[in-house]
Structure 1
Amino acid sequence: MDAPGQSNTHLTWTNVAIGGTFIVFDAVVSLVFGLGVGSSLVTAAIRCVLQLSVMALLLGSIFSTGSPWAVAGIAFLNKSKRRYTYMFPSVLVAMACSTIPVSLLGSRFAMSIEPFWKPDQYIPIIGMLCGSTISGIVVAVSSVLRELHENRDKVETYLAFGASRLEACRPIAQEALRLALLPTVNQMSVIGLISIPGMMTGALLGGSPVEQAAKLQMVIMFMISACTALAAITASVLTLVVVVDNEHRIRGDRMSGDKHVIWKTRDAFLGRIGDFFQGVWHKLIDAFKRRKVEDDRAAEGERRPLLG
């Protein structure tokens, strides 16, 4: 019997290719029913393969070094496509105030990992926490900005009647926090009954006992809920502090739907690559058409003596 945590399967790229047939099936279904998502599915699958391959190379190097600084470096990787004024430091503070204390305390005490920064265990934990935290921050910030845009008159009425920005924006922050925690609450409500979560499935496939895998999933879910709550609270408060200044005014000039310069550069780069391949494709089509016309003319020239 394999030792706990030791995987008894060995997958090759052939297995990945076989799994990719499911994506092909989805693309065919999209094409047959005219859903228009076939190309998006294929593109997402290709990105998934490339990103996970690069991540596997990085994690392999980090696991072999066992350095806590390398673990900290990959744990702080984060990106955000939406922005407002001072959004980067706000999101950074929200991420740091939630993932760092929860991951440290949870790894050391709740999961009894010593040292807590063991790469093969701490990186998957911080990855799951960051994933849920990012989702919570996106939901909270989007809710705050949407409410300030749609119900701006209501908030400004409260401010005009002497309410502080905390009193006027408290319902907005409460709604943002509720929406941010709703996915986690729903997930904990159905976990184990309707679906087997990914962390528990991975532990079972790795050879861990069922009881240990279930307890591990419980701890992870509790850590995710605490991390999401802290991140949503911090992000909502910082967003309101920036958008509603200390003069109790809603600063619409600080809210923007423009993308970050990184994403603008990426879109421009991908657009140029797409234009290049599109131009190459059009040239190939034109060359094929010209070749066909020339072949037709040559065939017509060969038939004329026979017809005469």
Structure 2
Amino acid sequence: MIHLSWLDLTLAASLLVLLMLLCVVLGLAAMNRRILIAAIRTVVQLLALAWVLKWLFAQAAPGWVALIASVMMLAAGYEVMGRQQRRFRGWWGYGMGAGAIFSSSFVITLFTLLVLIQADPWYMPQYAIPLLGMQLGNTMNGISLGLDRLTQSAWQQKEVIEARLMLGQSWHETIADIRRDSIRTGLIPIVNAMAAAGLITLPGMMTGQILAGSPPLEAVKYQILIMFLIATGTGFGTVLAVFLGAKRLFDERERLCLHRLK
């Protein structure tokens, strides 16, 4: 494996500077702050993760693995809430995304470790943490997109929804089209990723294994496994979050409650 120097990373960072200059030329200087913050977060978070994983791999204790996994899922739930333009007020704003992420990503990862990979011990951090991380990242994106489309569409179409309610339709019927569209929106990224894998793009895990010296066929098998698991986790998580969100938009008397959104 070819090792990268800090100079290599500095040269890569200089490309971001070129991007920021382009943003200034195009009148998008306001984006530079977001780009800079995102770049700093990338460096700090990944370096911190490297040190944590190095220590965690040496310990291989189930309690520490569970703690790291819990922190990752809680952070993913917070990111889901933060990425929505109109999010639910109170505990629902956080709990809905976090609950859907836990119910899908954690269960899928546990199934993978116990049944498919059969690592010994099953909580081996070299497998558990990367698998959970890949699940969380994609599931988080799907849930964020699905909930954002749900709340935005409900807000924009409130007159249509209320008119249908007055005509005698149930809340389930009035929100059905929006709910289906929201689920479809959440699934689009992972469906596109699967369709493009191997033909247009080389998925990250497979590329990393090949660069590390693994046989291409073995890397491909792992990538296929991961893609299927990610698609399943993203799908179940998005469906659960959108259904919970749709229900939350109505009260027990089936009235549209947009005041529950910020």
Tell me the TM-score normalised to structure 2 length: 0.87
Q: Which runs of structure 2 are paired with 1:161-200 in the superposition (5 Å)?
A: 161-200=167-206
Deviation track 1:5-56 (CA, whole Å, cap 9, x = no partner) reads xxx3333323322322222333344455555344543443222211211121
- 1:242 pairs with one of 225, 245, 248: 248
Q: Which residue of 2 aligns with 1:218?
A: 224
Q: Which residue of 1 aligns with 2:151?
A: 145
Work out the CA distance in 1 between the residues paired with 2:16 and 2:202.
22
Aligned ranges 1:39-118 → 2 under 5 Å: 39-76=33-70, 77=72, 78=75, 79-80=78-79, 81=82, 82=84, 83-85=87-89, 86-118=92-124
Q: Distance in 1 between matches of 2:120 and 2:164?
A: 52
Alignment equivalent of 2:138, drawn from 132, 141, 161: 132
User: Structure 2 vs 1, CA of residues 173 and 118 (structure 1 numbering), >3 Å: closer, same or farther?
Assistant: same
RCO greater where, 1 or 2, for CA within 8 Å and sep 6 or more?
A: 1
Larger Rg: 1
Which position in structure 2 is the counterpart of 1:296?
none
CA–CA distance in structure 1, aligned partners of residues 142 and 177 of structure 2: 17
Change (3 A) 1:157 1:34: closer
In structure 1, distance between residues paired with 2:37 and 2:95: 32
Q: Which amino acid aligns with 2:6?
A: W
The residue identity in structure 2 corresponding to 1:84 is F
CA RMSD of aligned residues (A): 1.9
CA apart distance, 1:124: 0.9
- State how far apart, in whole Å, the 2-side matches of 1:157 and 1:32 are: 47
TM-score (norm 1): 0.75
Seen in structure 2, the aligned counterparts of structure 1 residues 69 and 190 have a Cα distance that, compared at 3 Å, is same
Cα distance between partner residues in 2 of 1:69 and 1:126: 16
Which of 13, 16, 20 in structure 2 is aligned with 1:27? 20
The residue type equivalent to 1:90 in the other structure is M
Q: Which amino acid aligns with 1:49?
A: V
Task: Give the SS at the match of 2:175.
Answer: helix
Residues 168, 68 of structure 1: CA spacing in aligned structure 2 closer, same or farther, 3 A cutoff?
same
* Structure 1 residue 57: Cα displacement: 1.7
The range that moved more, 193-202 or 157-166, is 157-166
Partner in structure 1 of residue 4 of structure 2:
11
Does structure 2 retain, via aligned residues, the 8 Å contact 1:110–1:219?
no
| Count of matched residue pairs | 249
Give runs of aligned pairs for residues 286-305 of structure 1, distance below 5 A: none
What letter matches 2:4 in structure 1?
L
- Structure 2 spans left out of the alignment, 5+ residues: none
Q: Which amino acid aligns with 2:57?
A: F
Letter in structure 1 aligned against 2:56: I
Deviations 1:82-105 (A, max 9, x none): 431322222222111101111111
Where structure 1 has 5 or more consecutive residues not aligned to the other structure, the ranges are: 1-7, 257-308
